[in-house]
Amino acid sequence: MKDIIQMIDHLTGLVLALHGLCMLIINFTKTPNKHLEGSLVDNLPANMYRVIELFAGLFTPLAKR
């Protein structure tokens, strides 16, 4: 039981650290333009930024201020 609680504590710390990192990235960078044309590889930076935005907005409704 102690191991499970310790694992949950580590996972919670990891999620909160990733959330904080995503908040920093979102707030200190410009939103990349996503071109309507092109493949998934061409739009990779915009798609990765969108994933980071979603994770940053996981706990706070307004991630970018």
* Average pLDDT, integer, range 31-46: 68
- pLDDT, tens digit (0-9, with 9 covering 90-100), for 22-32: 888 888 888 77
- Give the global pTM: 0.68
pLDDT(63) > 60: no
* Enclosing domain of residue 49: 2-56
pLDDT surpassing 80 at residue 59: no
Count of domains forming the chain: 1
In a domain, 38, yes or no: yes
Q: How far is CA 15 from CA 7, 8, 9, 22, in A?
A: 12, 10, 10, 10
The reply to whether 61 falls in a domain is no
